[in-house]
Every structure is written in structure tokens, then in C-alpha cells.
Amino acid sequence: MSEEYEIPEDLYYTEEHEWLKVLEDGTALVGITDYAQKSLHEVVYVELPNPGDMVKQGEAFGTVESVKAVSDLYSPVSGIVEEVNEELLDSPELINSDPYGKGWIVKIKPKSLEDELENLLNAEQYREHLGSLEAK
């Protein structure tokens, strides 16, 4: 079943279905995965943190809501929110149409990236994780 979902090779993942993309300047983009957007379906509202907010690895920093469901967003890494994707306020559906691109949610300046990356999944591990969810 997991081959139905797009899982880019160059990203890191959480078990809660966030992705993390480390940029060249050392900051990182965060969004939700193709699996997450397909499960939620029709995102109609995103609650974003403010730039400057502190986030901690594994802790909730915002929410994504579909017509039916509310889902917390968990930060893949600790750090400071440098930028939020304000386009999502008016066009939350970007999360559905382009989860790894225009649907990015926040840009974080990580605090201890090297250590924390070890707690995240790579594409292969995330694919296995989805497989185990589907099997349940």
C-alpha cells in the first residue's frame, strides 16, 4: 500500500508524518507528508506559530484541520521558528496539492540539528513505518 504515497529520498521524517528538509544555509523546512495530507483530506485550516517562537523536537507547534478532523503538528527538531508559510492562511489546500513544495509549513533555525537528526527516519525507514501502519 505504501507505494501509493510519494516519499522523497532527500528528506527526514517523523513517525507522526512530518517531513524535514535541511537547507544549505543550515535552516530547515517542515511540512506534512503525502500520506498525512491524504489521510486528512481537504485541509481547510492551519494554525501556525509566530516567527521567533521556540519549538522542541517531538512537541506540538500548530495544527492542521480538515473538514472532519483536527491534527496536531509535531516539530521534527528543536529550534526557533524563522518563518511561517503565510500563504497557507488563505490557501490551506496547498498542503493537499503540493505537500513537499508550496505546502511547506514553517522554516526552523535548528539548535542541535546533528544530534536530533538521529531521532528521525530516512525515506526507507518512513516507507517501512507506513507499511506497518497499513498492515494494522
Partner 1 sequence: MALRRTHLYEYHRLHGRLVEFAGFEMPIWFEGIIPEHNAVRNSVGIFDTSHMGRASVTGEGAEELLDYLLTNDISRLEPMRGCYTLMCNEQGGIKDDLIAYRLSENHFFLVYNASNREKDYNWILKHSRDFDVEVRDLSDSVAMMAVQGPRAEEALQGITSEPLSEVGRFHCREVIIGGQRALIARTGYTGEDGFEIYLWDTPLSQPSKALDLWGKILSAGRKFGIKPCGLGARDSLRLEAGMPLYGNDIDEETNPLEARLRFAVKFKKKRPFIGKEALLRIRKEGVKRRRVGIRMVERGIPRHGYEIWKEGERIGYVTSGGFSPTLNAGIAMGYVPTEYSKLGTEVEVKIRRRLVRGKIVKFHPFYDETKYGYRREKR
Q: Does 65 bind partner 1 (CB under 8 A)?
A: yes
Q: Does 68 bind partner 1 (CB under 8 A)?
A: yes
Number of residues engaging partner 1 in binding (CB under 8 A): 11
Q: Which stretch binds partner 1 (CB under 8 A): 9-17, 22-30, 44-52, 110-118?
A: 44-52
- At 122, the amino acid letter reads N
18-26 own/partner pairs: CB under 8 Å, 24+ apart: 18/73, 18/74, 18/75, 18/76, 19/76, 19/99, 19/100, 20/76, 20/77, 20/120, 21/100, 21/104, 22/113, 22/117, 23/107, 26/109, 26/110, 26/113
- At 136, the amino acid letter reads K
- At 111, the amino acid letter reads K
Work out which of 67, 112, 124, 134 binds partner 1, going by CB under 8 A.
67
Taking the complex as a whole, the smallest distance from the CB of residue 50 to partner 1 amounts, in Å, to 12
**For residues 3-42, which are near partner 1 according to CB under 8 A?**
41-42
Work out which of 1, 8, 10, 45 binds partner 1, going by CB under 8 A.
45
Cα–Cα distance, 133 to 83 (Å, whole number): 32
Q: Does 1 bind partner 1 (CB under 8 A)?
A: no
Contact residues for partner 1 (CB under 8 A)? 41-42, 44-45, 47, 63, 65, 67-68, 70, 89
